[in-house]
Structures are given as structure tokens and as C-alpha cells.
Chains A and B, each alone.
Chain A
Amino acid sequence: MASSIRVRAILNGDTTEVQTLIQHPMDTGLVKDSKGELIPAHYIQQLSFEHNGKTVFQADWGTAVSKDPYVKFAFKGAAKGDEIKVSWLDNKGATDNLTAKIQ
């Protein structure tokens, strides 16, 4: 199965810019379906990025983050070819992760 995570990490000078897109419904639990029944909340609560075993960025998300979330940040101290590990956990206990190389 294809990963739910797409990540692009590019080194520019001493700073690595990380852009991430995740496929996830991010249902708020406030929206009704076509039959008028509430769609239960289903959203990513935590997303973390690790470089060399150190957390370089961590997100806590509520239901107000858009469907198929996008997030961008940057950090220092990485080299080209280093790995960055992305993992998320949603409110139903589902999880996914992906390791990408810094370009």
C-alpha cells in the first residue's frame, strides 16, 4: 500500500526545509453525511519528525486542520543524504510513518 505520507526535505545552506502532505480525512465529527447522520470525528492528533533520533518538530492537531493536511517547517544541523522520519497518530489509534532522505 502506498504511504499516506509525502515528504520533501531539501537542504539549502545550513537549513533543511521540510514540506509534508498527508492523506487523511480529518473529519471533525460535526458534519453530517447524505443520510443526515453525523460522520464520527477522525483526525490526526500528533505528527512528529525525527532526525538522527532527535525530534526536530512536533505537531498537536485538532479537528480544524484541513483535510489531507499540509505543513511546512525548517531546521538546522542536517546534511544531504541524512534521513528524516515522519510519523503520525490519529484519534482512532491508527498510525503511519515514512523515512525520507534529505536532498
Chain B
Amino acid sequence: MTATFGPSVTRRLIIRGAGAVALIGLGHATLGPWPALAANDKYPEDAFKQKNAAEAIKALYGRDHEASDKVKLDAPEIAENGGVVPISVTTTLPDVTSISFVVSENPFALAASYKIPDGTVPAVANRLKMAKTSNVIALVEAGGKLYSATKEVKVTVGGCGG
């Protein structure tokens, strides 16, 4: 009898052992390099995978946005190099908690999202890639609502290797 279920017990032990090792490995991968971030600072992987602007905004914020003249989006009329387009946003809205940039015609619409804690000025400047001529949407989350400003940027040479 022992001879018949002997091997299966060993196999089970081996499988269990492998599982434990895999779990330990995972723990290291997620905790090791990035100890500074708390759980609520999780990377919004799903939003960055969305191809279209509306889906990306929905995945990131889960609500609609309304255009506001209090959001000032600064972007060039024409970008000669789509690989490096300087884009910035400022706002006079109070209680800003986050600012995001969406490039509608890019393969993945969401480009960048910034958390603005208390005491940080609600303004961000960065450089984005644009595949082709597209609307750029700046989103400002303030007081639990979502405001936006949109501007078309004409691109002469795309920034995604095309």
C-alpha cells in the first residue's frame, strides 16, 4: 500500500513547495524595489491599456468630465517632432487632487496622470509623444468633480516610430 501512494505524496509535497517558493518570489518582486508607495498609490494599469480617450478616462476616474475655462492647457499649435511635445496645464480651481493628460489619437490614449496632494501647486509641465495630429485633453480633478480643457495639436512627424 505504502508503495502505491508513496510517490503521489512526494509529488504533492514538491508541488506545494514550489508554490511556496513562487509566493516568496512574488513578495520580493512587489515589495522590494518600491517600498515608498502605499496601497492607494497603485499604478492604474487598466486605464493605461485603454485605446480610446473616453474609455481611458472612464477607467481612471469613472466619471464624465466637463469643459472648464478655469483649466488652462498650454500646448503648441504645431509640433514638428511628435516624439517630444511640451504640454503643460495650470488651473485656478480649488481643491485639486489630480491632473491627467490624454492624447486621443495615440495607440493608448492616457499619457500621464499626476496626484496633487495638499500644498502642491495645481500645475504640471511635461513632454509627451504624439503619434499624429490629435486632440490633447487635460483633466483636472477638483473637489470630487472632473474638469477639462482640450486643444488640437498638429503633428508633422509622428512620435511613435511610424
Contact = CB atoms under 8 A, between A and B. Distances in A.
B19 interface: no
Contacts of A10: none
Interface in B102-148: 103, 106-108, 110-117, 119-121, 123-130
A67 B84 CA distance: 8
Contacts of B128: 64-66
Nearest to A48: B36
B116 A57 contact: yes
Please tell me the size bucket of the interface on A: 35 or more
Nearest to B45: A45
Contact of B121 (A55, A74, A95): A74
A98 interface: no
B66 interface: no
B112 A61 contact: yes
Max chain B CB contacts within 10 Å: which of A26, A62, A76, A77? Answer: A62
Nearest to B127: A66
A74 B125 CA distance: 10
Please tell me the size bucket of the interface on B: 35 or more
B129 A76 contact: no
Nearest to B124: A73
A32 interface: yes
Interface in A12-45: 15, 26, 28, 30-32, 45
Interface of B: 29, 33-34, 36-37, 41, 43-44, 48, 83-85, 88, 103, 106-108, 110-117, 119-121, 123-130, 159-161
Given A59-B113, A72-B126, 9 more contacts: A26-B129, A50-B36, A58-B115, A60-B43, A64-B106, A65-B129, A66-B126, A87-B34, A87-B36
